[in-house]
Amino acid sequence: MTMDLNDPNLEFSDLIYAYQSWVMAVINDEKLTTEETLLTEEIADDAVNAMRFLSGDVTNAIETSLARVYDVDSDELASLLFPED
């Protein structure tokens, strides 16, 4: 179920969760040796929607924290998340 941005009960934490889920799915699929693919179109769409409302400082903090947890270089993570940049 895709995140409904018009939902009056939508909270800031929901946006954080959506972005965090995307970053974790990308790390899982690209860096970890698991057979299960986590990234779905729904997760990616929710993250794109969340990015519209999250500041760069917040998204950077999420990326930095998860890069440390999963022992991924922050520059490499940036290139995985945004390959066109």
pLDDT tens, 46-78? 999 999 999 999 999 999 999 999 999 989 999
Domain boundaries, given as residue ranges, for the chain: 33-85
Q: What is the mean pLDDT of residues 23-43?
A: 92
DSSP string, 25-75: HHHHHHHS--S-----HHHHHHHHHHHTTS-HHHHHHHHHHHHHHTT--HH
What's the pTM value of the predicted model, to 2 decimals? 0.90
